[in-house]
């Protein structure tokens, strides 16, 4: 069969649609935000592919609900790549998730040179003389120094990993940073025990219990503590007892011949700081005490993660830690130079590793991520970066006959790098795979073999196929939303605002890759900060300006004209599945109170807390108010199955009998924001919130949708809406990170209306953007570059869009010129 046939799909807002997806083609699925693209691709197609795959393995699929579709034929094994970053492990880096670091470690194992610690003779890998010695833990390899014959442990790939005992820095355990307690938040030196010198001991029974324990311990060691004595007057032994407890090495040093008490009644006391540390470690840094800690660069390895011996091993006069801190583009050139400098004998050992590593890096360069370095933590990547990194890795798998489903891979990508990304997708296609891409980028559409356009609106107004074909064919289809955008006259004349004449001035910023740049940001204007990925935009605007970090620049002036600063970045809003759109916007508190005041609720004795899915009383206890049960699938990612007790409603049956205008509290959570506009149009507290969320292009989101499912752009716009609902004093500075992320061109227009409204109200809006439609509509543009990483960090153009287009070194200028048609 040459195509995947979907007939009568009716999941979520899909209106019993039928569509044919040609196999072994690059297919773009587009349409306004919320029109049903993800529902069709992920919730219908991907879910059924997954279900049938499990069935073919003989696994039970009873708990996995079938997609709501009449028929689906011609399916292939599928791999979906979304924008959510699920790996929150601080040990996970770009190097580890791509396996590039593994190949680099293998090269250092074979070619590494190091000095003998006894005689400082340089030991070359070709001179290794191995012996084997059996130990209780297995076999350890040794070499002998050819100069002094000292036996040394041989360096293996494990010695170059910060995730192994052999390679990790012993001080920070390979994390590159160490945590410590903010003592001023825990201890007050100028207060007595009675008056609360230990701030974390709350007043009441707990305080009395802990005070009694430490006084008993002090009596046991015959160093009695006066309850009214100021802490800074304690002896060293008394302080060590209070801080570290009777079992600590610090305190034992004062009484080496005294056995610590075994029970609390006799004087066993853990110590204030020791107790906090224990709870912090037990819960992996997620305890309530997390706010009492701060992190700083490891004083021994200086953030390099490896121990000194491993850091001192050199290949081509470079340590492995030096390589992990430079950009992938620079590593690529370093590896090429290494390749040409190797002897024939050395090539035999590392030729394969070098070839494979160069291939891996070249694919990452093609998708515009050459500015990343290997030790970059994956939790710091944007959704678009993480997706493109995985996409580049998949190309090396060599799989054929696979259906790849990609969710907006151009998110956060400068137009300059779009071609490289398209080339990667075409290579996947040419291997004999089908590539289905949810995308709004016109340049990607132009390269697609087939386009499926959904719409015409979001939410209940969408869910239909409104156009199909190539870009040229869509332009002739009157129902196509995307076709209408492609047909419209783009020769818009923009009126550039002059602003107040005042400006924020940043002098000589040098953080990360910024090259001592100085810029003026005009106030009361819409300002776009553009440039290729990794050029320094976020560093300049978020790290320096938003944080007002004058340690990384000479000065920041002009902020006295600003009354308030509101920032909205791409960082995820919450890791908790319980946090959803309604709780984040504080809408659900109002709704719970609304339901609690209904006559039916009062008759049954229900209170506002009973209408919460986060607390016991009204929620379904089988799923604890989530509406689903998570199944551990072991070798594939977990599945979420509708709760068999509440059937996804989250609540007990008796709660669902209470209705507002015919809707239960569960019904409200399952409605989209747009669908509740009419329902709450006369409610003073809810109506403005709903209207603003619609204006900002989020009307398609459901109130009960988990924040963990939102893209970076959706999360940012939700945060912006929450901030806009607060009353602020003019003049407010809004700093936004790619607010157009995930928006169809039709929705970008709506976003621009909101941004312009903010400026017209006397505010300043700064957007870090790649979207040419946003940049061309701005009053002022600051373009950084010319490249990413070490080759970026410079100002290549500033001025109005009409002035920036004349820059000879700006990539943005080229695309801006085409858009403005000047």
- Reported as a single tens digit per residue, the pLDDT across 716-754 is 788 888 878 776 667 999 999 988 888 888 888 888 988
Residue 342 has pLDDT above 60, yes or no: yes
Cα angle vertex 681, ends 579, 689, to 5°? 35
Which residue from 439, 529, 514, 494 is spatially nearest to 736, judged by alpha carbons?
529
pLDDT at 381: 82
Pair 588, 678 in one domain:
yes
Residue at a domain's end among 297, 328, 361:
297
With a cut of 60, say whether residue 130 has pLDDT above it: no
- Confidence check: pLDDT of 8 > 70: yes
Percent of the chain with pLDDT over 70: 93
| pLDDT value of position 125 | 80
| 129-150: average pLDDT | 65
Residue range of the domain that includes 770: 503-572+711-820
DSSP state of 569: -
Span 105-114, average pLDDT: 94
Confidence grade of residue 712 (pLDDT, cut at 50, 70, 90): low
Which pLDDT belongs to residue 285? 61
Q: Residue 441: which CATH number?
A: 3.40.50.300
Query: What domain count does the chain have?
Result: 4
What was the pLDDT predicted at 287?
58
Residue 99 lies in a domain: no
Together in a domain, 557 and 623: no
Lowest mean pLDDT across 273-282, 388-397, 553-562, 570-579 = 570-579
CB distance 112 to 313 below 8 Å = yes
Whether residue 790 contacts residue 330, with contact meaning beta carbons closer than 8 Å, is answered with yes
Are 686 and 590 spatial neighbours (Cβ–Cβ below 8 Å)?
yes
Q: What's the CA gap between 405 and 368, in Å, rounded?
A: 20
pLDDT for residue 91 is more than 80? yes
What is the value of pTM for the model shown? 0.79
805 — pLDDT class (breaks 50, 70, 90): very high
Residue 61 has pLDDT above 60, yes or no: no
Q: Are residues 565 and 604 in the same domain?
A: no
User: CA-CA distance, 710 to 124, in Å (whole number)?
Assistant: 52
Over residues 451-472, the mean pLDDT reads: 92
Segment 806-814 shows an average pLDDT of 95
Q: How far apart are CA 544 and CA 546, in angstroms?
A: 6
Mean pLDDT (the chain, rounded) = 89
CATH of the domain at 284: 1.10.8.280
Average pLDDT score over residue span 247-257:
95
Contacts of 507 (CB under 8 A, 6+ apart): 518, 553, 554, 555, 556, 557
Same domain, yes or no: 478 and 522 = no
C-alpha distance from residue 522 to each of 9, 56, 142, 566, 798 (Å): 51, 62, 65, 17, 11
Q: Are residues 395 and 433 in the same domain?
A: yes
Residue 630 resides in a domain: yes
Q: How would you class 721 by CB atoms within 10 Å of its CB: exposed for 0-12, middle for 13-18, buried for 19 or more?
A: buried
Burial environment of residue 636 by CB neighbours within 10 A (0 to 12, 13 to 18, 19 or more): exposed
Q: How do beta strands 114-115 and 78-81 pair? A: unpaired
Q: Is residue 26 part of a domain?
A: yes
**In sequence order, what DSSP letters do the residues of 683-723 get, joined into one string?**
-TTHHHHHHHHHHTT-TTSBTT-BGGGS-HHHHHHHHHHHH
**Residue 495 within a domain:** no
Mean pLDDT of 780-790: 93
pLDDT at 135 over 50: no
Please check whether residues 543 and 646 belong to one and the same domain. Answer: no
Longest CA–CA separation in the chain, Å? 93
Examine residue 449 and state whether it is found in any structural domain, yes or no. Answer: yes
Whether 133 has a pLDDT exceeding 50, the answer reads no
Confidence tier at 85 by pLDDT (50, 70, 90): low
Q: Is 334 exposed, middle or buried (0-12, 13-18, 19+ CB in 10 A)?
A: middle
Q: Are 2 and 426 in contact (CB under 8 A)?
A: no
N- to C-terminal Cα separation, the chain:
48
In this structure, are residues 27 and 450 in contact, taking their beta carbons and an 8 Å threshold? yes
Per-residue pLDDT at 129 exceeds 90: no
Both 561 and 600 in one domain: the answer is no
Do 197 and 275 belong to one domain?
Answer: yes
> What is the number of H-type helices and E-type strands within the chain?
30, 29
CA distances from 398 to 255, 261, 366 (A): 66, 64, 18
CA distance 155 to 136: 19
pLDDT band at 640 (very low <50, low <70, confident <90, very high): confident
Q: Confirm if 358 and 380 have CB atoms less than 8 A apart.
A: no
Q: In 3D, which of 476, 693, 722 has the Cα closest to residue 34?
A: 693
Asked if the structure places residue 350 within a domain, the reply is: no
- Residue 727 exposed, middle or buried by CB count within 10 Å (0-12, 13-18, 19+): exposed
Please state the rounded mean pLDDT for residues 330-347.
Answer: 94
Residue 571: pLDDT over 70 = no
- Judgement on whether residues 672 and 618 belong to the same structural domain of the protein: yes
Pair (411, 465) in one structural domain: yes
Choose among 362, 407, 398: nearest CA to 713.
407
98 or 396, higher pLDDT: 98
Query: 520 and 543 share a domain?
Result: yes
Contact 329, 789 (CB under 8 A): yes
184 contacts: CB under 8 Å, gap ≥ 6: none
Out of 269, 297, 325, a domain closes at 297
Residue 1 has pLDDT above 90, yes or no: no
Question: What are 106's two structure tokens?
Answer: 């293998």
Q: How confident is the model over 350-409, as pLDDT tens digits?
A: 999 999 999 999 999 988 899 999 999 888 887 778 888 888 888 778 889 999 999 989
Residue 590 preceded by cis peptide, ω within 30: no
* Edge-to-edge order in the sheet of strand 564-568: 564-568, 732-737, 764-768, 526-531, 780-785, 794-799
Backbone angles phi, psi at 551, to 5 degrees: -80, -15
Task: Tell whether 185 and 264 lie within a shared domain.
Answer: yes
> Do β-strands 78-81 and 403-407 pair in parallel, antiparallel, or remain unpaired?
parallel
Cα dihedral 26→30→33→35 (10° resolution): -110
Of 454, 487, 520, which residue sits at a domain end? 487
In angstroms, the CA 97 to CA 87 distance is 10
Of 763, 756, 760, nearest to 739 (Cα)? 756
* Phi, psi angles (nearest 5°) of residue 509: -75, 130
Q: Which of 361, 279, 276 is nearest to 326 (CA)?
A: 361
3-state secondary structure at position 803 = helix
Q: Would you say how long the chain is, in residues?
A: 822
To the nearest 10 degrees (0 to 180), the angle between helices 383-394 and 418-430 is 40
Closest CA to 316 of 169, 149, 162, 125: 125
Residue 60, pLDDT score: 62
515-527: average pLDDT: 97
């Amino acid at each position: 069969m040459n195509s995947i046939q979907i007939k009568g799909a009716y999941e979520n807002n899909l209106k019993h649609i039928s569509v044919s997806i040609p196999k072994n083609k690059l297919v773009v699925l587009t349409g306004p935000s919320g029109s049903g693209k993800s529902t069709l691709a992920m919730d219908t197609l991907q879910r059924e592919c997954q279900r049938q795959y499990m069935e073919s393995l003989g696994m039970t699929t009873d708990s996995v609900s079938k997609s709501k579709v009449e028929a689906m034929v011609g399916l292939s094994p599928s791999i979906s790549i979304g924008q959510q970053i699920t790996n929150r492990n601080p040990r996970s880096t770009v190097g580890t998730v791509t396996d590039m670091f593994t190949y680099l470690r293998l090269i250092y194992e074979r070619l590494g040179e190091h000095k003998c610690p006894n005689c400082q003779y340089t030991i070359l890998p070709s001179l290794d003389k191995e012996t084997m010695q059996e130990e209780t833990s297995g076999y350890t390899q040794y070499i002998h120094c050819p100069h002094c014959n000292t036996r040394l442990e041989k360096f293996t790939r494990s010695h170059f990993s910060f995730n192994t005992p052999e390679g990790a820095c012993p001080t920070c355990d390979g994390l590159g940073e160490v945590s410590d307690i903010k003592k001023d938040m825990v201890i007050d030196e100028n207060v007595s025990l009675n008056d609360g010198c230990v701030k974390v001991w709350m007043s009441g029974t707990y305080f009395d219990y802990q005070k009694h324990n430490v006084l008993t311990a002090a009596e046991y060691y015959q160093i009695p503590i006066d309850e009214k004595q100021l802490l800074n007057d304690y002896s060293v032994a008394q302080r060590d007892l209070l801080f570290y407890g009777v079992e600590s090495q610090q305190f034992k040093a004062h009484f080496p011949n005294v056995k610590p008490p075994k029970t609390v009644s006799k004087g066993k006391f853990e110590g204030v700081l020791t107790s906090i540390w224990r709870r912090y470690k037990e819960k992996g840094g997620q305890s309530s005490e997390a706010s009492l800690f701060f992190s700083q660069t490891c004083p021994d390895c200086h953030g390099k993660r490896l121990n000194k011996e491993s850091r001192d091993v050199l290949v081509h006069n470079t340590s492995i830690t030096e390589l992990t801190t430079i950009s992938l583009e620079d590593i690529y050139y370093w590896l090429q130079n290494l390749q040409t400098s190797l002897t024939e004998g050395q090539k035999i050992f590392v030729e394969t590793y070098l070839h494979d590593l160069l291939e891996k890096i070249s694919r990452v360069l093609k998708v515009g991520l050459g500015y990343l370095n290997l030790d970059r933590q994956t939790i710091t990547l944007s959704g678009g970066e993480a997706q493109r990194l995985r996409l580049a890795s998949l190309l090396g798998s060599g799989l054929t006959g696979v259906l790849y489903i990609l969710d907006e891979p151009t998110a956060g990508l400068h137009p300059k790098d779009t071609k490289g990304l398209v080339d990667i997708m075409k290579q996947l296609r040419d291997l004999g795979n089908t590539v289905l891409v949810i995308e709004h980028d016109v340049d990607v559409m132009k390269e697609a073999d087939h386009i499926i356009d959904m719409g015409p609106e979001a939410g209940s107004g969408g869910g239909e196929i409104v156009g199909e074909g190539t870009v040229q064919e869509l332009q002739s289809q009157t129902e196509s939303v995307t076709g209408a955008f492609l047909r419209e006259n783009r020769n818009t004349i923009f009126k550039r605002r002059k602003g107040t004449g005042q400006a924020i001035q940043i002098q000589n910023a040098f953080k990360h890759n910024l090259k001592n740049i100085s810029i003026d940001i005009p106030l009361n204007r819409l300002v776009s900060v553009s440039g290729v990925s990794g050029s320094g935009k976020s560093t300049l605007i978020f790290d320096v300006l938003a944080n007002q970090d004058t340690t990384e620049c000479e000065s920041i002036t002009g902020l006295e004209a600003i009354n308030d600063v509101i920032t909205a970045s791409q960082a995820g809003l919450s890791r908790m599945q319980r946090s959803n759109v309604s709780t984040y916007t504080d809408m659900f508190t109002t709704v719970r109170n609304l339901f609690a005041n209904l006559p039916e609720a009062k008759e049954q004795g229900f209170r506002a807390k009973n209408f919460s899915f986060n607390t016991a009383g009204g929620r379904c206890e089988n799923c604890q108010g989530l509406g689903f049960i998570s199944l551990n699938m072991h070798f594939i990612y977990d599945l979420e199955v509708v709760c068999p007790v509440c059937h996804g409603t989250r609540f007990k049956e008796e709660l669902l009998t209470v209705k507002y205008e015919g809707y239960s509290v569960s019904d409200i959570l399952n409605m989209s924001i747009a669908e509740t506009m009419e329902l709450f149009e006369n409610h003073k507290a809810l109506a403005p919130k709903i209207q603003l969320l619609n204006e900002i292009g989020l009307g398609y989101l459901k109130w009960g949708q988990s924040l963990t499912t939102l893209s970076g752009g959706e999360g940012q716009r939700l945060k912006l809406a929450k901030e806009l609902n607060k009353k602020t004093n003019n003049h407010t500075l809004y700093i936004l990170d790619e607010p157009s992320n995930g928006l169809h061109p039709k929705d970008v227009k709506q976003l621009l209306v909101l941004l312009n409204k903010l400026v017209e109200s006397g505010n300043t809006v700064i957007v870090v953007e790649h979207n040419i439609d946003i940049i061309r509509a701005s009053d002022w543009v600051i373009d950084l570059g010319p490249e990413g990483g070490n080759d970026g960090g410079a100002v290549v153009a500033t001025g109005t869009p009409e002035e920036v287009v004349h820059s000879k070194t700006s990539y943005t200028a080229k695309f801006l010129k085409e858009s403005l048609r000047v």
